[in-house]
Amino acid sequence: MRRASGVACDSHACAAALTACADAGVGLLLPRGREVHALCAKLGLDAVPYVANALATLYARCGHVDRALAAVRRMGSRDVAAWTTLIASYVSTGRAEEAVELHAQAARRGLSHARSVVGSLVKLYARCGRLSAADAIFRESIVKDVVSWSTIISGYAQEGLAKESFALFSEMRHHSNCPRPNEFTLASLFSKLRSALIDMYGKSGSMSDATVIFSSRTKDDVISWTAMIVGHAEHGHSKEAFELFEEMCRVGLKPDHVTFIGVLTACSHAGEVELGLRYLNAMNKSYRLEPKKEHYGCVVDLLARAGRIHEAEELIGRIAADGRDGVVWTSLLRACAARGAEETGKKAAERMMEAEPWGSGAHVAMANLYASKGQWCEAAQERHLMKQKGVVKGAGWSSVKVEGHDRGVGVFVSGDRTNPHDDAIHMMLELMYYGAGMVHHIPDQLSLGSEVELTVN
């Protein structure tokens, strides 16, 4: 408007326009913001600190961290606002390593104790699961505002440490020098508690109860949606997990690393190989999240189960060397054993033994692979190597859930005879084996009426 009226735009007007573009929502006014950026560059205003910070904030909120960094570099020296914007932008896009590096630089310049920088750093380390570092920064800060309090409380709750998060909330309420909790603090705490309940019901298999808690929400948040997606995925409800993921994106929530572990697990259960690959690629391209070893591990398992062993091996090569743990090699090795892929299986077994020298999995899988191909000498040699190294295969076990008055869960371990009802259990097993054998002798054509009862005496 000022340009149309012939009034010259100064740095304050440009900064205000950029701030308005940033506050409009993710990417909604980014094209207009770029126009203002071009005008600032033309007028030589893009190096003015508050204009550069407004530009950095605009690009950071739209996920363009590199452009935000370029805007800050135009300043003669970075002020507290610039450091805060950069650290926050790296955190929001999952680029933790760069954020930690910026923390070190801010510390060297004596800016790491500034209030806004502290808030971003606490959020950084809490999101990375490094609560000890987040807590140390929080405790060392001279001035703790409601944002930093809410962030550290949220961090503990997100890790399932409800006792610690409530203790902090209580400390915040009762100490005279602490700020009063506001709606953000309460929303953060109750959001995590709701998510914890959803997670609890999901892990116990009560997805109907989890759905009731989820449906009672008054505000959408990533953690509650993620808990539902992971719960459905872990119980093989892949369709429900996919539908929730799509709906979550439609309501404007940005999935995080845990959300993608959920949908990739759902892909693995459903055998949706191409969909899993699309989700993995979308992490970086659409959501600017760098896949971690857990995400690659899910897709390696997915490809391996589908028999696409060569692709699974190639994908492992994309994982950072220090992230190639025994889990991904185990997935590949099991697939090789199932498909008889001896050469790739040997490589996977070697890497698995390097990662877990005293584990039995590699030897057992290779023994099974050799046995499936009739190579009995090689299979016996693997077993012999286990004995030489003192590697012991863990005993198999199973559990039975009993309902009724004496309900509970009975656990049975292979070779264990310490159960007080051991004799009765083995007698019942013998009867079951005998009954199963009798069934094999019943002609297929024999029709048993509803009143006929087959008993084993």
Check whether 442 has a pLDDT greater than 50.
Answer: no
Check whether 301 has a pLDDT greater than 80.
Answer: yes
- Minimal CA–CA distance to 91: which of 136, 112, 52, 61? 61
Chain segment 357-401, per-residue pLDDT in tens: 666 666 677 777 777 677 788 778 777 776 766 655 555 567 676
Q: What local confidence, expressed as pLDDT, does residue 341 receive?
A: 77
Where is average pLDDT lowest: 30-44, 226-240, 329-343? 329-343
Q: What local confidence, expressed as pLDDT, does residue 395 receive?
A: 55
Which residue carries 């054509």 as its tokens?
445
Averaged pLDDT of the chain: 75
Q: What local confidence, expressed as pLDDT, does residue 230 receive?
A: 92
Quote the tokens at residue 457. Answer: 């005496």
Residue that wins the pLDDT comparison between 250 and 366: 250
Which residue carries 């409530």 as its tokens?
166
72 contacts 50 by C-beta, under 8 angstroms: no
Q: Helix, strand, coil proportions of the chain in percent (round to 5)?
A: 65, 5, 30
Provide the total of helices (H) and of strands (E) in the chain, helices listed first.
Answer: 23, 2
Amino acid at the residue 268? S
Check whether 430 has a pLDDT greater than 80.
Answer: no
Highest mean pLDDT among 214-228, 265-279, 398-412: 265-279
Residue that wins the pLDDT comparison between 339 and 293: 293
- Cβ contacts of 160-168, under 8 Å, gap ≥ 24: 160/196, 160/199, 161/131, 162/192, 162/193, 162/196, 165/189, 165/192
Chain segment 123-156, per-residue pLDDT in tens: 777 776 677 777 887 877 767 777 778 878 877 7
Non-local (6+) Cβ contacts of 366 within 8 A are 333, 337, 345, 346, 349, 382
- Minimal CA–CA distance to 254: which of 229, 232, 226? 226
Residue that wins the pLDDT comparison between 226 and 86: 226
Where is average pLDDT lowest: 91-105, 187-201, 254-268, 373-387? 91-105
175 contacts 140 by C-beta, under 8 angstroms: no
Element (H, E) at 364: helix 361-372
Q: What local confidence, expressed as pLDDT, does residue 223 receive?
A: 82
Residue that wins the pLDDT comparison between 409 and 15: 15
> For a pLDDT cut of 90, what percent of the chain falls above it?
10
Domain ranges of the chain: 397-440
396 contacts 414 by C-beta, under 8 angstroms: yes
Check whether 297 has a pLDDT greater than 70.
Answer: yes
Count of CB atoms within 10 A of residue 67's CB?
Answer: 18
Residue-wise DSSP of 235-290: TT-HHHHHHHHHHHHHTTPPP-HHHHHHHHHHHHHHT-HHHHHHHHHHHHHTT---
Check whether 211 has a pLDDT greater than 80.
Answer: yes
Confidence of residue 263 (pLDDT cuts 50, 70, 90): very high
Q: What local confidence, expressed as pLDDT, does residue 443 receive?
A: 47
